[in-house]
Amino acid sequence: MKFCTTRTPKKAAFSPMEVIIKGMAPDGGLFMPESIPVLSQTELNDFIKLPYPKLAAEILHKYFDCFSMAELTADAEAAYGFENFPTVPLDLCVVEPRLFMLELWHGPTCAFKDMALQMMPRMLSRALSKQRKKRLALVAAATSGDTGKAAMEGFRDVPGTKIKVYYPHNGVSPIQRLQMATQAGENVSVSAIRGNFDDAQSAVKEMFARKDVQKMLARGNAFLTSANSINFARLAPQIVYYVYAYVRMLRSHAITMGETVDVVVPSGNFGNVLSAYFAKRMGVPFGRLIVASNKNRVLADFFRTGVYDCNRAFYHTTSPSMDILRSSNLERLLYLVAGPERTARWMKDLAQTGRFCVSADVLSRLQAEFCGIWVDEPEVADTIRRTFREDGYLIDTHTAVGVAAFRQYSERPQASRRILVASTASPFKFPRDVLTAILGDAPQDDFEAAQTLAAISGRPIPRALRDLRERPVRFTNVVDREEMADDLADYLRD
């Protein structure tokens, strides 16, 4: 497979190795495969028999043919094995006759990001070792809460790499902060930055272009790469679980081959829902993709009006991993429907004015496949309570945005018979908000709240969260945006 970029008219000049290693395209855009491989119904049928790691290797090999099937299988078996996923890699739960929950949070950090971030570092490390020039990969990641922890856990002690994570000071939940501050590993570091996620993300993107940063890296025989979903190697492992979900529904006879399933994805940076779109383009019979937003409803507004406008208030919600106004991966969708010239123009508008507006023909093409629904905070809480009381099923605040969107969408005549909702985090990761939604009140302390939640639901607290309180805090650094490059230089030097 060759790769091109979202902003330069096709010259598919990049190899999969470059895509993994560089993370971000040299023109400031994002890497994209030159074409999307299509699965036949026979292949989909054959997938019914495969264990998850084998399926992962099959799908990833279509994009990353720089690795052999044996190499990808070995990496996937290690990534999704017992060590990281003590119960199952992922699960599909039928909560109501139409509502299928794809639980993606059985990994080490209890959020869906583990699905990609346990796999991607192994692929990067493999790519690095295949290269002749030995250089250190310095992974920089901005996080709205979950990526940072999952990335550090994925890169922890991976040879040839060091990782630096930036999260918004006061912008993540106490458990998320503690998860990052106590991270183990010799090659990890985390700093809080004064600002929100968008500030952190744009500062990380800028570092890639800064001359002084490049010089400092050259001195350290290092190069900068990204673990955010701007890296295509982050997105590709996410396609796998959507293929898997459809195949599992086939296997359990919930659907017949070819039957359309709609998919709801609680969205922030647009990476997860874009992966579902890739699965659809690869031939999985998905119908509409429902982009579920919280009160930061910039995506929902965009799919309704064709105007993407970041000039608006930013809200801290109970679903902090979705508190995002600049959804990086939307650029990839724009590229797919409108091509690189128009995408480059819109991205320039966005950088200069904080907004862009697509034409009516582009909007109608987007609306044929996507639908944006946003959910306000009281409805999130109400959905958690109702789903627990009526279905006996516990969901977290992010997933609740998806389930609320499901409730709105499933009323519509065009909705399909079965609807898949991505469940993106364990309810125990946000125990106080979940408990407050159910009981009207919660203890101040997250760990006490988690215990109460376990007691009322009869579900165990995930191991990774249970241990958190005993771990020593290693990182307490807070920096301004302007200090990030120096902070990175300090870290590279140790």
Ligand X SMILES: *Cc1c(COP(=O)(O)O)cnc(C)c1O
By annotation, the residues acting in catalysis are 113
Report 121-140 residues binding ligand X (CB under 6 A): none
Q: How far is CA 300 from CA 282, 373, 374, 375, 377, in A?
A: 25, 5, 6, 10, 15
- Residue 271 Cβ vs ligand X, minimum distance, rounded to whole Å: 3
Quick one: which of 229, 231, 294, 436 contacts ligand X (CB under 6 A)? 229
- Residue 221 Cβ vs ligand X, minimum distance, rounded to whole Å: 32
**What is the per-residue binding string for ligand X in 417-436, x denoting contact by CB under 6 A?**
-------xx-----------
271 part of the interface to ligand X, by CB under 6 A? yes
- Residue 319 Cβ vs ligand X, minimum distance, rounded to whole Å: 7
Best CA proximity match to 173, nearest among 429, 455, 485: 429
- Residue 450 Cβ vs ligand X, minimum distance, rounded to whole Å: 16
End-to-end Cα separation, the chain, in angstroms? 38
Cα–Cα distance for residue pair 134/424, rounded to 1 Å: 36
Closest to ligand X by CB, 17 or 95: 95
225 part of the interface to ligand X, by CB under 6 A? no
Quick one: which of 53, 89, 108, 266 contacts ligand X (CB under 6 A)? 266
Q: Can you state the angle between helices 271-281 and 232-251, rounded to 10 degrees?
A: 60
- Residue 402 Cβ vs ligand X, minimum distance, rounded to whole Å: 8
Q: Can you state the angle between helices 377-391 and 397-410, rounded to 10 degrees?
A: 80
Both tokens assigned to 466: 């249970």
Q: Is 462 helix (H, G, I), strand (E, B) or coil?
A: coil
Cα–Cα distance for residue pair 406/245, rounded to 1 Å: 17
Contact segment (CB under 6 A) with ligand X among 5-13, 263-271, 387-395, 472-480 equals 263-271
Cα–Cα distance for residue pair 425/429, rounded to 1 Å: 7
Closest to ligand X by CB, 125 or 196: 196
Within a 10 A sphere around the Cβ of 248, how many other Cβ atoms? 21
Quick one: which of 196, 231, 269, 318 contacts ligand X (CB under 6 A)? 269
- Residue 105 Cβ vs ligand X, minimum distance, rounded to whole Å: 7
Report 362-391 residues binding ligand X (CB under 6 A): none
Cα–Cα distance for residue pair 107/64, rounded to 1 Å: 23
Both tokens assigned to 448: 């006490």
Contact segment (CB under 6 A) with ligand X among 9-17, 264-272, 367-375, 451-459 equals 264-272
Cα–Cα distance for residue pair 436/443, rounded to 1 Å: 9
Per DSSP, what are the bridge partners of residue 189?
164
Contact segment (CB under 6 A) with ligand X among 49-57, 260-268, 459-467, 471-479 equals 260-268
Quick one: which of 237, 268, 287, 306 contacts ligand X (CB under 6 A)? 268
Closest to ligand X by CB, 416 or 426: 426
Closest to ligand X by CB, 217 or 381: 381
197 part of the interface to ligand X, by CB under 6 A? no
Contact segment (CB under 6 A) with ligand X among 42-50, 115-123, 261-269, 484-492 equals 261-269
- Residue 246 Cβ vs ligand X, minimum distance, rounded to whole Å: 19
Closest to ligand X by CB, 326 or 398: 398
- Residue 363 Cβ vs ligand X, minimum distance, rounded to whole Å: 21
Cα–Cα distance for residue pair 101/117, rounded to 1 Å: 21
Q: How far is CA 405 from CA 239, 289, 408, in A?
A: 22, 11, 5
DSSP state of 133: S
Report 289-348 residues binding ligand X (CB under 6 A): 321-322
Closest to ligand X by CB, 67 or 241: 241
Closest to ligand X by CB, 61 or 113: 113
Q: Which helix (H) or strand (E) element contains residue 490?
A: helix 484-493
Quick one: which of 14, 85, 270, 374 contacts ligand X (CB under 6 A)? 270
Q: How far is CA 307 from CA 77, 304, 449, in A?
A: 43, 8, 41
Quick one: which of 84, 183, 191, 272 contacts ligand X (CB under 6 A)? 272
154 part of the interface to ligand X, by CB under 6 A? no
Contact segment (CB under 6 A) with ligand X among 120-128, 198-206, 267-275, 276-284 equals 267-275
Q: How far is CA 336 from CA 61, 65, 220, 241, 488, in A?
A: 21, 22, 38, 21, 35
- Residue 348 Cβ vs ligand X, minimum distance, rounded to whole Å: 23
Q: How far is CA 15 from CA 20, 26, 38, 64, 230, in A?
A: 9, 13, 20, 9, 16
Closest to ligand X by CB, 73 or 424: 424
Contact segment (CB under 6 A) with ligand X among 50-58, 80-88, 266-274, 433-441 equals 266-274
Q: Which amino acid is at 92?
A: L
Using a 10 angstrom Cβ sphere, with 0-12 exposed, 13-18 middle and 19 or more buried, the burial of residue 364 is exposed
Q: Are residues 194 and 487 in contact, defined by beta-carbon separation less than 8 angstroms? A: no
Q: By CB under 6 A, how many residues form the interface with ligand X?
A: 16
- Residue 97 Cβ vs ligand X, minimum distance, rounded to whole Å: 25
Which residues here bind ligand X, judged by CB under 6 A? 111, 113, 146, 229, 266-272, 321-322, 398, 424-425
